[in-house]
Structures are given as structure tokens and as C-alpha cells.
Structure 1
Amino acid sequence: MSDPHTRLALLSPHRVEAAQADALADALTAACAAGDVAAVILRLASADERSLVNLVKRLAPAAQSTGAALVISVSDFAGDVVSVAARGGADGVHIDKARDGVLRELRSRLSEGRILGAGGHEQKHAAMEAGEAGVDYVMFGGLYADGFAPDAETVQERAEWWVEIFETPCIAVAHDRAQVDGLVATGAEFLGLESALWMGEGADVAAIQATVTAAEA
């Protein structure tokens, strides 16, 4: 990849509900103003489809008004996430640890220009299968809904491996400020930030952006 440039991707807390929408929208607006944010991965709590659509509609403008894409993920959702994304005005969907065939099925249903992302790839084989299914990005690292996070060294190694070999972009996710320098050094197209790094007490997107910019100078 010539002239590499790492942009930010913001990951919301897990299981976002309607009661959190206003505070989350404010945090998104501030974070997108402080850094070069390319995408927001909105991780919603499972609910009925109508409620999810309304929640996406409430939150989408905070990201999209700055030019960032909004990608939704709904854990333990038995409904149609593609329909939720389309009706809510999201730019795509994200799936963690997809079952066999799910990514190809979603790829076939998402209209042209809609984003399909996949995460949960501790194993290289799973990441390669996601790439072969036609995802727009693979994601390494990040907190799962149960609070578990893959080993930081493994996340960095996976990102380095992927960037060197594959053309499909990747998001390398930091859940701790100490991970940022190493992940930026991988050359990943996107530096993912868990919610503690961009919202709430101690969050400093501007400082993280400065680190990214300095590394590319």
C-alpha cells in the first residue's frame, strides 16, 4: 500500500440501549471533531427490530455528519440485521465470530456500497475465510461482550501479518492507551479505539490522533 495513512475507528460500548443514546451521541460528536474518524462500530443490545431501527436513526447523524461511516452490530440478535441497518440509515453491519456461511450470505444481501465487517479472529484461518467471503475489513482485537480481550501481542502480530499479505483493510483495536504506538506501527489502515479511549473520564482522542500523525510524519 503506497502512502499509508491510518485513520480512527471508534467502537461503542457493548449492548447500547436507548437510554444511553443522548450521552453516546454527544461523545461521538466530540470524538469525531477531535480526530480523523473514518468509522464508528455501534454495538447494540438486542431488541425488537423497530426499536433498533429507531435507535440507529438517533445515533447515525452524530457519526455521519462528520463523514464517518456507521456500522452496526447486534449481539444475540435473531432478527434481520441487514434490514435494521438499511431502515435505520446505517452504512453497514459488523459481525463477530461469524458462523459458517453467514458472511457470504450477508455479503449477497447488502446492497452495493454497504459495508460488511468481521471481527473475532484470533486464528489466522478465520481471518482469511472472512476475507474470502468478501468483507470490507477484518478486525483484530477489541473487547468482547463478556469483557474478554485477546492478548495485545497477538493482536499486533495478527495486524502485522495481515497488512503485509492482504489487500482487504484491517482494523487493529486498542483497549488500552499503551497499545496505540505498536498498533499504529503495524501500518493497519484503521486504529480501532475501545470506548474507554474515546468517551468518558480520561479519554483524549486529540492526543491519540497526534500520536498517529507523528508516526506517519
Structure 2
Amino acid sequence: MAGADNRCRLVLVIPDIAEPSIALKAVEDALRGGDVASVIVPQYGMSDRDFQDYAEKLVPVIQDAGVAALIAGDSRVAGRARADGLHIEADAEALADAIEKHAPKMIVGSGNMPDRHHALEIGECNPDYAFFGKLDGDIRPEAHPKNVALGEWWASMVEIPCIVMGGTSIDSVVTVAETGAEFVALRTAIFGDLAAAARAVAEANALLDEKAPRFDD
């Protein structure tokens, strides 16, 4: 998509969909809607074996669309599924260990940053990105104000890219983009109506094209 590289881009978080075939179709449809930087695949309540099977089916679908597939939590699953990266929700010590083991072969990004103190500890590990919010934290139409504030603070002073969790409304991408964050994560806003996932991605990109500030070259 023209212009997407110099403004805030979308990261999709797959919701808790019990039936893998339904999840596959929803993701495939969403990725037809326009520019997406990456897709994060959480485990939710799946067993390790089911999550492995699930990831092995999803990762190629994501990658075939030219999008990075990030597995949340389990490095073994990420490796076996040949994912592009790993999303870590852990302390700085565990993150540093994951980076040592898996970077730069894999993208290694981190959540678990509820405040500036934790964020700075995580930042010292130099992950590929910092994620503000919870993967299932989109419980209101707007992005959580605390995450927005943390994203704005981070983007103003740290070179490591950040992702801010948006809300259940597609309009929330504008508030996140205005912080200077490189990425906005959406879950329910895209997958709340599975049949409309492609249209939701297109609408989010249209808003970002129109209203997101442009980054300096």
C-alpha cells in the first residue's frame, strides 16, 4: 500500500477462535484487506500440541500474504512452525535469554510493560519491538489511555519501535498513530465480525492513510 512505510501500520492479533479452519479463513480474508505488518498468534487455552498444529496451519497463510507471523510465548512452537518471530510476555531476564537464543534469526518482541520502569528494563534488552497493552486488552472502543500515554512517551525518546494495543473500534487507530507509535495492534476491531475482516483492514488503512502523521525519512 502506497505510503504505508512512512506512517503507523497495522499489527493484527488473532482472537480466541476454537475452530482452526474458521481462524484460517478469517486471517486469510483479513490479509486481503490491505497493508498489515505482522500477525500475532496467541495460545489462549489450547494445549501445547493443539497450539503447535494451529500454528503450523496459520503461519504459512500469514507468510504467503507477505506478512510476518509472530508466535506468542512458545519458542518451540515458533521454531517448528517456521514463524518469523516470537512475542514474549516475561521479565527482562527471560527476554534477554530469548533474544540471545533466537535473534537475529527470529524477531523477538516484548510485552509486559505496564509502566515506565518496566519499559526501560525491557528496553535495555534491546528487543525488536515493545508492545504496550495486553493482547486481549481491547475491551473498550478506544485504546486504553495508559497504553496511549506510554506509547507516546516511548516513541518520543526510544528508537526501538513500539506497538500500542488499539480498542474495539477501528477509529482507535488514529489516536494511537498520533502518539508517534510505529504500529497499532487490533483484534476485535478486525475480527469481531469475521465476515467483514477484509473490509475492517481496508477501513483501518484508509484512516491511517488519511490521518496518521508521517515519519521523517
Q: Structure 2-normalised TM-score?
A: 0.83
Amino acid at match of 1:136: D
- In the alignment, which residue of structure 2 is the partner of 1:131? 123
Number of residue pairs the alignment of both structures matches: 204
* 1:7 corresponds to: 9
TM-score relative to the length of structure 1: 0.83
Which has the higher relative contact order, 1 or 2, with Cα contacts under 8 A spaced 6 or more apart? 2
Deviation digits for residues 126-177 of structure 1 (CA, Å, limit 9, x no counterpart): 11111211211111124548x7999721111111111110110000111222
CA–CA distance in 1 between the matches of 2:47 and 2:201? Answer: 33
Structure 2 match to 1:213: 209
Contact 1:143-1:149 within 8 A present in 2 as well: no
Q: For the residues of structure 2 that align with 1:56 and 1:7, how far apart are their CA atoms?
A: 23
**1:65 and 2:61 aligned:** no
215 and 34 in structure 1: CA distance in 2 versus 1, 3 angstrom threshold: same
Distance in 2 (alpha carbons) for counterparts of 1:87 and 1:149 = 36
Aligned partner of 1:78 in structure 2 is none
Residue number in structure 2 paired with 1:109: 101
The answer as to whether partners of 2:140 and 2:167 remain within 8 angstroms in 1 is no
Match for 2:167 among 144, 158, 175?
A: 175
1:11-30 CA-to-partner distances (Å, cap 9, x unmatched) read 1124x5xx421111111111
Structure 1 residues 180 and 100: CA distance shift in structure 2, 3 A: closer
Aligned partners of 2:62 and 2:68 also within 8 Å: yes
Identity, in percent, stands at 31
- Deviation at residue 49 of structure 1 after TM alignment: 4.4
> 2:14–2:39: 8 Å Cα contact kept in structure 1?
yes
Asked if structure 2 preserves the Cα contact closer than 8 Å seen for 1:7 and 1:37, the reply is: yes
Unaligned ranges ≥5, structure 2: none
Aligned position for 1:33: 32
Distance change in 2, residues 1:39/1:151 (3 Å): closer
In 2, are the aligned partners of 1:26 and 1:62 still within 8 Å (CA)? no
Letter in 2 for 1:212: L
